[in-house]
Amino acid sequence: MSLIRNHLQSPIEYVASQGYPVRERGGKWRTCVCFNCGHSRMRVNGETGAFVCMSGCGARGGDVVAMQMAIHGQDFVTACKALGAWQDDPKDDKTPRRRPLPFPARDALEVLVEEAQFAAVIAGNVAHGVEISGDERLRAMQCAGRIRTVARYVQEGRT
């Protein structure tokens, strides 16, 4: 399943087809009515489809698919299908999932070195009565989780 970009309309044609006439002017950026707030300060890049409302309503995106999602409130796949730019791959249902790639031993050692240093600093601070903040406590829990993950990978022979 994938997006086929060359099946997308040109950005200017798409905006006009949605009922937002585009004012012609020089350069690659054109102006139209914003589909979010209604002000006539939406800028659309005629080459890439990037868009941004200059009135400050926050409407912005990077291509025609993002416009479709914003105008119609659709998710990515639904927007691509509505634009006729989505291709289902019939092999996907029959193809077994690939096993994750092995975790390289060098990467595992780098993770362990960094996390062990952090754990040692936290342990030293606690041993000397230094109170650790909530952020440091959260980071310490993440550190322990990463060390456990690397240990599990080693035990399963995935390194």
Distance CA 99, CA 103 (A): 12
Query: To the nearest whole percent, how much of the chain has pLDDT over 70?
Result: 89
Confidence class of residue 95 from pLDDT cuts 50, 70 and 90? low
Distance, in Å, from the CA atom of 157 to the CA atom of 155, rounded to the nearest integer, reads 5
Residue-wise pLDDT tens digits, 5-18: 888 888 989 998 98
Say whether both 87 and 109 belong to one domain: no
Q: Are 60 and 131 part of one and the same domain?
A: no
Query: Letter for the amino acid at 96?
Result: P
- Residue, of 98 and 154, whose pLDDT is higher: 154
Mean pLDDT of 16-27: 85
- 11 and 87 in a single domain? The answer is yes
**How many domains are contained in the chain?**
2
pLDDT at 41 over 60: yes
Other C-beta atoms within 10 Å of 11: how many?
A: 22
Res. 79 pLDDT band, cuts 50 70 90: very high
Residue 81 lies in a domain: yes
| Shared domain check, 80 and 148 | no
Token pair belonging to 79: 């927007």
Q: What is the DSSP string of 31-85?
A: EE--TTT--S-EEEETTT--EEETTSS--EESSHHHHHHHHHT--HHHHHHHTT-
Mean pLDDT, range 109-125, rounded to an integer? 89
pTM over 0.75: no
Domain region containing 77? 2-93
pLDDT of residue 68: 92
| 159 pLDDT higher than 90 | no
Examine residue 75 and state whether it is found in any structural domain, yes or no.
yes
